[in-house]
Structure 1
Amino acid sequence: MGVLEHKGRARVFYKYLSQVYDRINPFIWNEEMRDEAIGWLELDGDERVLDVGCGTGFATEGLLQHVETVYGLDQSPHQLEKAYAKFGRSGPVRFTRGDAERLPYQDDTFDVVWSSGSIEYWPNPVDALEEIRRVAAPGGKVLIVGPDYPSNTVFQKLADAIMLFYDEDEADRMFREAGFESFEHHIQQARPGSPRAITTVATVPEQ
């Protein structure tokens, strides 16, 4: 387990990262990548959408171009403060401070569950994916963005020491163990040589 796959350390990390997050993020996960991923969801505007690990609201902004309301959840109070400054506390985003492994929502609540840049910090990603499947309605969509495992051996060792990086085979395992049967992976990259993202779009099994 990487050093940041620990909830307390991740909160401290984001206390400082929140100050520069919106300036750094576009070098790794930019609007073009975000909008491409949103396009795979084929939103029609009526969906109830949850953004798990919403952070400062970068993905939330994109989702709000397609739906009227987004539910945003994050464990970092510092990231949420930045999000409040963008959207207000009672605007189109309904914020909750909470844990991806214990989502404070009822079963089958959401048509779409989105999470970008969060899975790499989850101590138990399969548990969190099971929770996401629980709160998503049967037939709904789940989209998860995480860091693709580097091909260079040196970078692999560094990645393993910091947080979760994973390839398509590992993504297959995690999603299957969480109860998903239908999913596909996409590799996204801001520019040649920049870190790659692995984006999985899954369909929630019908009950």
Structure 2
Amino acid sequence: MGVLENKARARLFYKYLSKVYDQVNPFIWNEEMRDEALGLLDLQADDHVLDVGCGTGFATEGLLQHTEHVYGLDQSIHQMQKAWKKFGKNDQVKFHRGDAERLPFKDGSFDAIWSSGSIEYWPNPVDALEEFRRVVKPGHKVLVVGPDYPKSTVFQKMADAIMLFYDEEEAQRMFEEAGFVDIEHHIQQRKPGSPRAITTVARAPEK
């Protein structure tokens, strides 16, 4: 388990990263990549969508282009304070502080769930994905963006020491174990040589 797959360490890490996150993030995960991923979710204007690990609100901003019913959840108060300054003052987004592995919502609360840049910090990703399946409506989609596993052995060792990196095979295993169906994986990259993201879209089974 990587050093940042620990909730206390991750909160401390984001306490400081939150100060520069909006400046650093576009070099790894930009608007074009976000919007491409959003297209995979097929959102409708009246959908209620949960953004798990909303951070400073980069993905939240994209979700608001598709629906007015957006809920943001994060464990880092420092990240959420940034997001609240952007959207919370005008009640554009309903924010909740919470844990991906114990979502504070009733079964079937959402039409879709989005999570980008968060799974790599979850100590128990399958537990969180099971929570996603619980709170999304049966037959509806979830989308998770995480860091693709590096090809270089040197970078693999570095990645494993820091946080969760995974490939399509591991993503498939996690989503199947969590009970999802119709699982698809897409590799996204800002430009050749830059870090690769693995974007997984899956559907909760019909009851």
With structure 1 as the length reference, what TM-score do the two structures score? Answer: 0.99
**In structure 2, how many angstroms separate the alpha carbons of the residues matched to 1:172 and 1:40?**
17
Residue 27 of structure 1: aligned partner: 27
Identity of matched residues, %? 75
**2:80 partner amino acid:** L
Residue 99 of structure 1: aligned partner: 99
Give how far 1:85 is off: 1.0
Give how far 1:89 is off: 4.2
What are the residue-to-residue correspondences of 1:152-163 with 2, within 5 Å?
Answer: 152-163=152-163
> 3-state DSSP class of the match of 1:67?
coil
**In structure 2, how many angstroms separate the alpha carbons of the residues matched to 1:48 and 1:84?**
18
> 3-state DSSP class of the match of 1:49?
strand
**CA offset digits 1:121-159 (Å, max 9, x no partner):** 000000000001100000111000000000000000000
**CA offset digits 1:155-182 (Å, max 9, x no partner):** 0000000000000000011001101121
**In structure 2, how many angstroms separate the alpha carbons of the residues matched to 1:181 and 1:65?**
27
**In structure 2, how many angstroms separate the alpha carbons of the residues matched to 1:89 and 1:16?**
23
Give how far 1:92 is off: 1.3
**CA offset digits 1:84-135 (Å, max 9, x no partner):** 1111245110000000000000000001000000000000000000001100
Residue 125 of structure 1: aligned partner: 125
What is the root-mean-square deviation of aligned Cα atoms in Å? 0.7
**In structure 2, how many angstroms separate the alpha carbons of the residues matched to 1:153 and 1:100?**
30
Residue 185 of structure 1: aligned partner: 185
What are the residue-to-residue correspondences of 1:43-58 with 2, within 5 Å?
Answer: 43-58=43-58
**CA offset digits 1:53-92 (Å, max 9, x no partner):** 0000000000000101200000000000101111124511
Unaligned runs of 5+ in 1: none
**CA offset digits 1:2-41 (Å, max 9, x no partner):** 0000000000000000000000000000000000000111
- Length, aligned pairs only: 207
**In structure 2, how many angstroms separate the alpha carbons of the residues matched to 1:198 and 1:49?**
21
What are the residue-to-residue correspondences of 1:3-22 with 2, within 5 Å?
Answer: 3-22=3-22
**2:172 partner amino acid:** D
**In structure 1, how many angstroms separate the alpha carbons of the residues matched to 2:170 and 2:54?**
24
Does structure 2 retain, via aligned residues, the 8 Å contact 1:89–1:95? no
Residue 136 of structure 2: aligned partner: 136
Residue 38 of structure 2: aligned partner: 38
Are 2:40 and 1:69 equivalent residues in the alignment? no
Give how far 1:46 is off: 1.1
**2:118 partner amino acid:** S
Stretches of 4+ moved more than 4 A in 1? none
**In structure 2, how many angstroms separate the alpha carbons of the residues matched to 1:96 and 1:89?**
14
Residue 198 of structure 1: aligned partner: 198
**1:18 partner amino acid:** S
Does structure 2 retain, via aligned residues, the 8 Å contact 1:109–1:136? yes
**1:104 partner amino acid:** P
